[in-house]
Copies of this chain bind each other. A is one copy, B any other.
Amino acid sequence: MSRKKPSVDRVFHALGDPSRRAIVEKLSEGPMSVSRLAEPLNITLAAVVQHLQVLEESGLVQTEKVGRVRTCRIEPAGLAVVEQWVGDRRSMWERRLDHLGDLLAEPDESD
Question: Which A residues lie at the B interface, using CB under 8 A?
Answer: 8-9, 12-13, 15-18, 21, 24-25, 28-30, 74, 76, 79, 82-83, 85-86, 88-90, 92-93, 96
Contact = CB atoms under 8 A, between A and B. Distances in A.
A18 B9 contact: yes
A15 B8 CA distance: 10
9 contacts: A12-B12, A12-B21, A13-B16, A21-B85, A28-B96, A29-B92, A74-B93, A82-B82, A83-B86
Interface of A, helix, strand, loop or mixed by DSSP: helix
A96 B16 contact: no
B9 A12 contact: no
Contacts of A85: 21
